[in-house]
Structure 1
Amino acid sequence: MKINQRTSFKLYYALLISIMFSWSTTYSQTNKVILSGKVTNVTQEENGRPFLIISDYHQDTVIKKIYLDKEGNFLDTINRTGNDYRIEDGRFNFRLHLAADSKNQIEYDASKFLTVPINFNGPDENINNYYLDKRQKAFIDVYGENKTEAEQRKFLNEKYEQSLQRIEKYKLPDSLKKFERIGVRYEYLNRLNIYLDYLSEKDSSFLPTSKDQSELDINYSNLSHYRQHSYYRALVDDYNSAQIDKTFKSLSLKPRKEHKTKFRLTNELILDENIRNAFLERYGYNFLLESDDVKSNYQDFLSYYSGTNSSFKEVMLDANLRLTSLKKGTPSPKFHGYKSSDGGTRSLDDLKGSYLYIDVWAEWCVNCWVQLPYLNQLEKELRGKNIKIIGISIDKDEEIWKTTRQKHQLKGIQLLVNKENDEFILGYAVNSIPRYIIIDPNGNIVDYNAPRPSEKEELWEILNGLDL
């Protein structure tokens, strides 16, 4: 395996699940709900009108858009699909529990979502104030930036205790209270697991303590919890990923006839069909991306994935078609008119004459910033050689791109993708980041999935073979 992207996926998963829990109750599908209020500084607009997106929380399907007036006021009726809904304002999203035939009111400033309490009025105030309080205090400092190991461990334990205290603070129904206690335990274990994995990436000699190992010695085959608790799903998926990686590496040392694709190992090691399909929906793309033989891996995917997620199947088919066409020495997909940090715009053809080590990143990608010290060191080591480090941001907001460059003091040529469905990003089937690509001075592909800066040995094995 060339690149282990488990931590990148875990981070991406942790950011998503930090605001998603499941609590199912019975409901009527015929009643309506009235939702009104005032939300200011909403960033998403349609024809100059700001709007909120209302989705079914459990099905993750959009129900409707609620349009706001110039002052942010609104009043609308929702056709109920259940009890739980996700509200999105373009900056943040959060969960609300809306009872049948109820009138609910909410008021907040979207630009101050994390710092100013949100006003909610309705028949389920305790439940919704609990959800809002939890969402506003969600923490994502999974790597313990600027903390010692002892300080980060203390931080994780304090957050766990605060989460338990929050459950007791609000008068929740007994069933929800029990459910949330289980959920916050899994949240704590997931954060601990991510942090330990981060420490092992920083230092290959790092070993978790016996206490850490004991805490993470849980049942990883509880299908009920896998379906209901997002943090448990993350733990199970990461555990299974580690087992597959370990087996894959051991097989790579044996005769070729004993080699197996990760899709085949997934089928052998994850016995529950539901968990296996969900696991492949999370990791399948990267299994394809990392493989030496995309075609045979895709055929194994077709053999071992029995899920019904049509959009995932389309992503995999598209990745198969694109990756099989990205052969070493063939012309690279091109980009045109990317905004440049040095002013003006750049196209790939403008950069011909030098080798390019391209780093695809975004402001929200924490793993991109984990790589930054290694990238800066690489930049120093490559000075005077015929190779340029090019940063390509897929952020949609130009101001975020600018402030992020300044915050992290990004070096080299920094570019911003100028449109959705960009041919360069699509051409390389970029569905997860960070992603690294090497292109030769003639604009031809050297490696469409190059090693990360932190993977020095693998990266320099490629670089030493180039005429730099």
Structure 2
Amino acid sequence: MRLNFNLILSLIFFISLLSCKQDQKHEKDIKGSDSIKNDIEQPAVLIAHGDDPKAFEYFNVMDNSYLFGTNHKDVEKKIFKDSMILKLNSIVDSQLMEIIAFGNNKNYRTKFFIEPGDTIRFEMKNGRIYSLGLGDLENSVYQYLDDSTPSYAENNYLGNINYYGEKTKEIYQKKVKFLEEYISRENTMSKDALLSIRKDLKFEYFNNLIQPRNIPSSGRNFYFNEQDGLLPILQREAGESENIFYYEDYFGNIHIGDFTASPDISNTYYKNSINPFIRYYFLSSEDLPYTKAKFLAEKDFIEKHFDGEVRDYAIARMISDYHKKGFGYSTGNIQLVKDAIAEYEPRFTKESYISKMNEIIAELNNFNFKLSDKALNAQIVNSAGDTLKLKSILKGASKIKVLDLWASWCPPCIRDIRETFDFKKELKKEVDMQWIYLSLDTNSENWEKGSKDLRQNLNSENSYLIVGDFKSNFAKFFKINSIPRYIILDEKNNIILENAPSPFAQDNFKRMIDNISNN
């Protein structure tokens, strides 16, 4: 719905007539509101009426055209006693934009389908947002949808990933059913809006599958998605039961065509799903995430299957994700990240992409490959029950030190320890190296039991429990959120690789060690 600015002023004047408590100054302010200029790329104008002025003050429109969705940056706002005019400048493409406002004991949340040049009128009352535009059904559907269907945020992971997946699918089916019934009754919704809403529901479902709801809010009345949360869940479940997880059963018929046939990089769920699906589903699960092998595999996959804006987004997000997990903070990987940025940054046209790449380069240039004092002073417990500091066991003069991070509940960790024992012994005959096993178990009893089960494979003199597990300063320094994890240090404790490949792939691991040793 596109209206000229004179008509906008007429609508604003109409809003002024709705209030029975307006004074002459308020009316004069609204009539004089043409000081908001309509001169940049057909901006969209939002006109709100309500009885909660605080909600107007803390009113945000989320724009997901940036690398990471955030508040739309180019806005002009005017607030009156019971109304608000918000002008969104620099709106180039149509997109679903999330509306979030915080009022007096009421929070507001919905989505509007906004096109350049649109004027959208709506009412905010009692925590609800309803469009007032005639035939403007796309901007009312989400409020009705949220009121009438279950929320993903209340469907948290309860210990069985397959059950979680089934409940997530049920919620998606109910939302789709509601939408179809809604448009069958009210069939004046625009085709573009309907297509965008259907895609939004589909990728919201995908996002909740690939990133399970496993992080509780402060009141535990709803749950957030956990980025990279699926793999740790699968590891824990495999350690606790004999049930086999099948990716195809869990994800159903999701395939690459879902992401390439109708891409939408202005949709938050599409953007939050595409890279995790590449990482954990479309590529082999044999390669651990955030390693050099996985980085190169993801880069090649993106180049092969995507182009244009989608390719640029997926590459930028991949580099950002790896950097966030600590990849590149080592002598073995830093140049790989720098080369990838040098290759792709000139292709990027969006300022948010370029800014993020420059930020990563600046951080890498300032990294000195040293363990921080906090990491070196992290507390560990030895097999005798003594509490030590990590730096006390890193004083050895071995040319190469391999930190093997594991836990008693992690099947891949246990497999690697058991099945690489002979390989490690042979490798130590050729190279001056030391293996140090660091457990991230949450309590000492589990660690002691796991160590006892592996006593033929673990050297008790080099086996320790990290106090604080994933919340320890050591884990925070290396940004560890999944295991197994292999960190390689030199004799001076410089970081050679912060996320080395598994020794289970013996030929690959030996080539890497030989290369480090020779250099």
With the length of structure 1 as denominator, give the TM-score of the two structures: 0.54
Following superposition, the deviation at residue 128 of structure 1 comes to 1.1
Map of 1:448 onto structure 2: 477
Q: Please list, as runs of the form range in 1=range in 2, the aligned pairs for 1:122-201 lying within 5 A after superposition.
A: 122-134=133-145, 139-141=151-153, 144-146=156-158, 151-168=163-180, 169-170=182-183, 171=186, 172-195=189-212, 199-201=233-235
Residues of 1 paired with 2:65 and 2:488: CA distance?
47
Residues 225 and 435 of structure 1: CA distance in aligned 2, closer, same or farther (over 3 Å): farther
Map of 1:281 onto structure 2: 316
8 Å Cα contact 2:441/2:447 also seen in 1:
no
Map of 2:356 onto structure 1: 312
Map of 1:202 onto structure 2: 236
Map of 2:473 onto structure 1: 437
Q: Secondary structure at the match of 1:184?
A: helix
CA-based RMSD of the aligned residues comes to: 4.9
Q: Secondary structure at the match of 1:66?
A: strand
Aligned AA for 1:52? F
Following superposition, the deviation at residue 35 of structure 1 comes to 0.7
CA offsets, 1:244-290, max 9 Å, x none?
A: 6747559x9xxxxxxx5654433333223444432232231343413
8 Å Cα contact 2:78/2:86 also seen in 1:
no
Residues of 2 paired with 1:97 and 1:249: CA distance?
39
Residues of 1 paired with 2:64 and 2:466: CA distance?
48
Following superposition, the deviation at residue 150 of structure 1 comes to 6.4
Whether 1:267 and 2:306 are equivalent positions in the alignment is no
Residues 56 and 283 of structure 1: CA distance in aligned 2, closer, same or farther (over 3 Å): closer
8 Å Cα contact 1:51/1:66 also seen in 2:
no
8 Å Cα contact 1:97/1:127 also seen in 2:
yes
1:50 counterpart (48, 57, 64): 57
With the length of structure 2 as denominator, give the TM-score of the two structures: 0.49
Map of 1:108 onto structure 2: 125
Map of 2:257 onto structure 1: 219
8 Å Cα contact 2:77/2:87 also seen in 1:
no
Following superposition, the deviation at residue 237 of structure 1 comes to 1.9
Map of 2:84 onto structure 1: 75
Q: Secondary structure at the match of 2:336?
A: helix
Identity of aligned residues (%): 11
8 Å Cα contact 2:47/2:86 also seen in 1:
yes
Residues of 2 paired with 1:142 and 1:135: CA distance?
12
Aligned AA for 1:297? L
8 Å Cα contact 2:57/2:79 also seen in 1:
yes
Q: Secondary structure at the match of 1:327?
A: coil
Following superposition, the deviation at residue 104 of structure 1 comes to 1.3
8 Å Cα contact 1:354/1:386 also seen in 2:
no
Gap runs ≥5 in structure 2: 1-39, 213-229, 376-386, 392-409, 411-438, 449-463, 490-519
Gap runs ≥5 in structure 1: 1-27, 44-48, 253-259, 334-352, 358-370, 391-433, 440-446, 463-468
Residues 147 and 382 of structure 1: CA distance in aligned 2, closer, same or farther (over 3 Å): closer
Residues 141 and 297 of structure 1: CA distance in aligned 2, closer, same or farther (over 3 Å): same
Residues 103 and 148 of structure 1: CA distance in aligned 2, closer, same or farther (over 3 Å): closer
Residues of 2 paired with 1:33 and 1:67: CA distance?
11
Following superposition, the deviation at residue 313 of structure 1 comes to 1.1
Map of 1:35 onto structure 2: 47
Residues of 2 paired with 1:129 and 1:220: CA distance?
27
Q: Secondary structure at the match of 2:73?
A: strand
Q: Secondary structure at the match of 2:85?
A: strand
Following superposition, the deviation at residue 241 of structure 1 comes to 1.6
Following superposition, the deviation at residue 327 of structure 1 comes to 0.5
8 Å Cα contact 1:38/1:107 also seen in 2:
yes
CA offsets, 1:121-158, max 9 Å, x none?
A: 22354211113334666734497434756653442232
Following superposition, the deviation at residue 106 of structure 1 comes to 1.9
Following superposition, the deviation at residue 297 of structure 1 comes to 2.6
Q: Secondary structure at the match of 1:106?
A: strand
Residues of 2 paired with 1:128 and 1:87: CA distance?
11
Aligned AA for 2:443? L
Residues of 1 paired with 2:249 and 2:112: CA distance?
37
Residues of 2 paired with 1:88 and 1:54: CA distance?
6
**Greater radius of gyration (CA):** 2
Residues matched between the structures, number: 327
Map of 2:132 onto structure 1: 121
Aligned AA for 1:267? K
8 Å Cα contact 2:441/2:465 also seen in 1:
no
Residues of 2 paired with 1:97 and 1:450: CA distance?
37
Following superposition, the deviation at residue 449 of structure 1 comes to 0.5
